[in-house]
Structure 1
Amino acid sequence: MPRVYAVLVVNNGSEWLSEVLDTLDSPQYPNLDLVVVDNGSADDSRNIIADRVPDERSIRFRRNVGFGRAVAGALKRGDLEATDYVLLLHDDLVLAPNALGRLIEACNQDPSVGIVGPKLREWGPEPIVQEVGGTIDRFGRAERPVEPGELDQGQHDRQRDVLFVSTAGMLIRADMLRALGGFDTRYPAFRDDLDLCWRAWLRGHRVQIVPAAVGYHIGAATRRLRRLGLGRVPRELAERHSVATMMACYQPLRLLWLMPVVFLLAAIRTIGFVATRRIGDAFAIIRAYAWNLVQLPATLGRRRAIQRNRTVTDAQIAWLFAPGLPRVVSYGEAVADWVAGGSTKAFLAEADEAEPGQQQTPSFIRTF
């Protein structure tokens, strides 16, 4: 039976943490080594962990160091050489009893599959699909294959390759994770899943969504049900990390023509936000690009390593990305309408839909 090293990252999750720990205590998979990381919680999470988790199986950071650094700290505690898989868990996710077994089975059936994730459903009584893998268009905009409030009727139950899966319930081959060097620890939250999975694809490893495995997820950070303690809003983090990942992963020719369009679209959104007096959103985009300017030397260093070790071209995985042309056309029409005296609502609505933190919170989740 494969050995699984599980890392549960906790940040101000006391409302649901006890229930999550209850499911991990069950004997659904006996060969599971669990480490719980308290990532700077300021609520009762620290006391729950102290009561439920032995000291040798827990790590505590005084402040939120970000998901990637929290995972890296936990991996240093474990023996990855003797581990087959690493399971990453958010503190607001409950896996169905058979989910881990289904994820492991998917990896065992095909050695080329390096990362898998479960179908995510809303944590509540109604069978609402939350996520079945993710993608972006060529300019970094997130695309969701699931409609808000979409009922799970088996329409997404085909196991398939995707660009990335969420870190909530992500299962990774341990040897592959070591080869990739783990997460980019500059990313405290948002798009860290995209970055890791994209790099896996470039090394020749496939990423799959396994709908037979189900996880029930609140999505507390995305819905802003808790304070991240990072000093930044989701829009800024998602924007800056998407741009950094594109600069590191795209091949030179594709990068040369894509990035000017990315910058232009960002400028259009910024102007639109200013015109509609959404100054906070405008500054979020400005800060995202300022961060990338400051981080450019580090990003270029990562780029050199990624490009040197890649075995797959951009063209070979282009089918994993959503088409980018419709977005450019939509923005162009919106700008033309604005210049003619119309409003900026068209492209601002699209920008909001693509960003984390804009989803509606179901009523059953609001009770937390």
Structure 2
Amino acid sequence: MRVGILGAGPAGLLVGWLLRQRGVDVTIFEARPYVGGISRSFRWHGFTCDIGAHRLFTHDETALRFLLSAVPMGRHIRRSRLYLAGKWIRDPANIIEILWRYFPSTAIRIVTSYLLRPRHISVKSFDDFVEARYGAALNRFFFRPYTEKLLGLPSSQISADWAQRKVRIGGLFEFLHESTRKQFGYFYYPIRGGYGAIIERYYRDISECVRVHAPVCGLEIVEGKIEAVIFKKGNTYDREAFDHVISTLPLTTIAQFLGQSFPLAYQDVKCVYLLIGRPLVSDNHWIYFIEKDFAINRLVEFKNLSPIDQPQNHTVLCAEVTSVDLENAVQHVINDLVRCGLVRSDEILDSMVLYEECAYPVFDLSYKEHVAIARKTLECIPNLHLIGRAAEFQHLELDEIYGKALSLVNRLVPVSHTIIGEAQMETSPELPMVWAVILTFNNYEDTKECLRSLRRTNYRNLSILVVDNGSSDGTPEHIKDEFPEVKVIETGHNLGVPWGYNIGFSYALHAGAQYILMLNNDTVVEPQMIHHLVKAAQGNPDVGILMPKVLYYSNPDTIWAAGGRHRFFPPAHVILGQDRPATMFNKPFYLEYAISCGLLIHRRAFEKAGLFDPGYFFYFDDWDFSQRVRAHGLKILFVPEALMWHKVSRSTRRSDRETFFWQVWGESCARFYRRHGQPVFLSLFLHVSFLMVREFLKGNRYMLKYFWKGVCEGLRRPLGPIPTVDDIILPPPSQDYAAL
């Protein structure tokens, strides 16, 4: 299959990279001499600058970890401000602060208008949406000016869809609300190379597939399908044939190639860069200017996003402007910054303007109808596919583009459930295929003992996969030297226990595994354990998870765990059999929860319930998976004949990471009860209260502030979707991480 991709912005490069991972022949055409589109970064006066303000925030933990695996990123607690009516207020805006800061006249108008707002109107426009929720006064004072300035239309002519995506104002209890795209408290940003480092990472892998200075001029249509792409090559025109064409170009451009016309509009943006002769202007990541008499929409200071490799004695500001012409943009920005007191005119050492076309799709009142007509027209060409902000006429962020790219690639090239290029194992027809998946993070001696115990098992249809989560002690190299039969995948860095396991699960399931043996690296298995687990599984077709009897490694006559259950009062998750003699729990029984230091999981459990939730870093991830597996009608079986030994928390609860452990414990607890608590906040309140009282009495009162901090973070962090097997894509380990 040959695929032509029009445009080397984030959408084109991501879909091209994903297609190349599946062996597809890809060519990407880019008219400009550089790639990345509006998501690129560049150097100016020694600074790394972006095209405007960018940051990574997503509800999708799988997409987040895919993007985090590209380059090292820092997690930032949001610092931003709004400039409104001569005053600085915090961003995201909070109605309590607005009423307080603009009391009495403006506050009284806002409250009165809110009480008298029209509540049962037909919502079509931006004004309709905002005024039905917040009243006309707050719309006139706060929402309308910025929106009209940004999109260049009266708010009465802007669709309510834009308001649904963008309008949000906080209240008294906003700390209880989950972070959203409209109101988030944290974000991620690359440590080096600016926001464009993310896209640059994928470009490096497929640079030979990208043709810059190659503007597409037309499409050759034969019998209703695209036969070839016509593009400019120097001073001549050339054509290249493809089986499929993926366009990231604006809908209006594709329409011209096909002799069509769609009445859709895009808003261009001017980015004004100022070199300032002092170390910092403010400590904010970005600042919004709400009023229409300010030309600036949003201001970003790149040193506050990452100070690495940035000059110390100067700083660069970037102002996004849409409401003034290109020639006067710099002077308007300077006037705005001087007027609000951020800079003095004599501090400005240099300036530059970059112009970006089609930065925002304009959602006017008729855009939905026109987009529907455009899509219906283009659907008549079966081998033409659209992706990206301009092509789909949607305001998409990078994580959303990745999700759409993966979905498109899965449609074009469905994932084969046999890993291409892997040597076929010697299989036994009477034994189902088992893949042991072990997650490592340092502590090689433990991993070596675990692998040696697997070598002693006589299960003949067993393969072993180790996923290394960024070890710094040479664990991957040692495994390759001492255990050449073991497959090793290196993630390059630690993005959490569930994410690391998911990489291994996805690989093993695509390789055809019927069962996955999930093991911690600090475990040792009894030679017959796999036989006992598989035999029990084969005799119970409604079972999704099987758990062995887990004994203490340091005290092998004592049980560490025989499963788990929920105790209603006092509320807690209880490990069954803990500290009981190994001679107890000698009959199989069904469990509420399985503990993931060692489990045999049938592939049907993953197919029905999805993989582990990567929103957990560790702790509660196995309880969450057990809950979902049972919710899908599968059972969890304890198999007493199957034995293993566990060294218990060698990686997660070291003394030098104790505060981190307590914070993750709190965050995971909140996440679990948000997903599964009945009712959510009552069950969470009871469980957290009991834990804090118990730990206080046990002498851990100094750690409770970290636990509570984690609980608050868990309440704010988006839950997002549960990943499936085909959602897990692992880029090769980044050299950028190795340099840290």
Structure 1's consecutive aligned runs of 4 or more residues displaced over 6 angstroms after TM superposition are: none
**1:143 pairs with 2:143:** no
Larger deviation: 180-189 or 50-59?
50-59
2: CA distance, partners of 1:216 / 1:202: 29
8 Å CA contact 2:670, 2:715 repeated in 1: no
2: CA distance, partners of 1:22 / 1:255: 44
1:162 CA drift (Å): 1.2
1: CA distance, partners of 2:666 / 2:440: 24
- CA displacement, residues 341-361 of structure 1 (integer Å, 9 cap, x when unaligned): xxxxxxxxxxxxxxxxxxxxx
Q: Judging changes above 3 Å, is the alpha-carbon distance between structure 1 residues 267 and 95 closer, same or farther for their aligned structure 2 residues?
A: closer
Please show how residues 338-357 of structure 1 align to structure 2 within 5 Å: none
1: CA distance, partners of 2:676 / 2:443: 33
8 Å CA contact 2:463, 2:486 repeated in 1: no
SS for the counterpart of 1:239 is helix
SS for the counterpart of 2:465 is strand
**1:82 pairs with 2:507:** no
1: CA distance, partners of 2:692 / 2:478: 45
Q: Judging changes above 3 Å, is the alpha-carbon distance between structure 1 residues 257 and 70 closer, same or farther for their aligned structure 2 residues?
A: closer
Please show how residues 127-138 of structure 1 align to structure 2 within 5 Å: 127-138=557-568
1:203 CA drift (Å): 0.8
TM-score, normalised by the number of residues in structure 1: 0.70
Q: Aligned to 2:478, which of 32, 44, 48?
A: 48
1: CA distance, partners of 2:556 / 2:692: 40
SS for the counterpart of 1:47 is helix
1:283 CA drift (Å): 1.3
Partner residue of 1:242?
669
Q: Judging changes above 3 Å, is the alpha-carbon distance between structure 1 residues 22 and 258 closer, same or farther for their aligned structure 2 residues?
A: closer
- CA displacement, residues 256-287 of structure 1 (integer Å, 9 cap, x when unaligned): 643443454466568x47x97832x1212211
Q: Which runs of 5+ in 2 are unaligned?
A: 1-430, 724-740
1: CA distance, partners of 2:655 / 2:577: 24
Please show how residues 289-328 of structure 1 align to structure 2 within 5 Å: 289-295=711-717, 298-299=718-719, 301-302=720-721
**1:278 pairs with 2:697:** no
1: CA distance, partners of 2:604 / 2:437: 16
1:20 CA drift (Å): 1.6
1: CA distance, partners of 2:504 / 2:472: 20
1: CA distance, partners of 2:643 / 2:448: 19
1:208 CA drift (Å): 1.5
CA-based RMSD of the aligned residues comes to 3.0
SS for the counterpart of 1:232 is helix
**1:208 pairs with 2:637:** yes
Partner residue of 2:606?
177
**1:196 pairs with 2:625:** yes
Q: Judging changes above 3 Å, is the alpha-carbon distance between structure 1 residues 115 and 29 closer, same or farther for their aligned structure 2 residues?
A: same
8 Å CA contact 2:666, 2:708 repeated in 1: no
8 Å CA contact 2:525, 2:645 repeated in 1: yes
Aligned residue type for 1:191: F
1:27 CA drift (Å): 5.1
Q: Work out which structure has the larger RCO, using CA pairs closer than 8 Å and 6 or more positions apart in sequence.
A: 1
8 Å CA contact 1:12, 1:226 repeated in 2: no
SS for the counterpart of 1:83 is coil
Partner residue of 2:138?
none
Greater share of residues in strand: 2
8 Å CA contact 2:518, 2:597 repeated in 1: yes
**1:224 pairs with 2:649:** no
Q: Judging changes above 3 Å, is the alpha-carbon distance between structure 1 residues 278 and 85 closer, same or farther for their aligned structure 2 residues?
A: same
2: CA distance, partners of 1:81 / 1:61: 19
1:126 CA drift (Å): 4.1
SS for the counterpart of 2:660 is coil
SS for the counterpart of 1:238 is helix
Aligned residue type for 2:582: D
1: CA distance, partners of 2:543 / 2:566: 20
1: CA distance, partners of 2:444 / 2:655: 10
**1:61 pairs with 2:61:** no
8 Å CA contact 1:96, 1:213 repeated in 2: yes
When Rg is computed on C-alpha atoms for both structures, the one with the higher figure is 2
1:144 CA drift (Å): 3.1
2: CA distance, partners of 1:99 / 1:56: 19
Greater share of residues in helix: 1
TM-score, normalised by the number of residues in structure 2: 0.37
Q: Judging changes above 3 Å, is the alpha-carbon distance between structure 1 residues 83 and 46 closer, same or farther for their aligned structure 2 residues?
A: closer
Aligned residue type for 2:672: T
1: CA distance, partners of 2:659 / 2:435: 31
Aligned residue type for 2:504: A
1: CA distance, partners of 2:626 / 2:709: 25
Q: Give the share of equivalent positions with the same residue, in percent.
A: 22
2: CA distance, partners of 1:250 / 1:243: 10
SS for the counterpart of 1:289 is helix
Aligned residue type for 2:711: Y
Q: Judging changes above 3 Å, is the alpha-carbon distance between structure 1 residues 226 and 105 closer, same or farther for their aligned structure 2 residues?
A: farther
SS for the counterpart of 2:489 is strand
**1:94 pairs with 2:524:** yes
Partner residue of 1:288?
710
Q: Aligned to 1:6, which of 436, 440, 445?
A: 436
8 Å CA contact 2:552, 2:646 repeated in 1: yes
8 Å CA contact 2:523, 2:647 repeated in 1: yes
2: CA distance, partners of 1:266 / 1:48: 41
1: CA distance, partners of 2:656 / 2:442: 8
1:159 CA drift (Å): 0.8
Partner residue of 2:88?
none
SS for the counterpart of 1:213 is strand
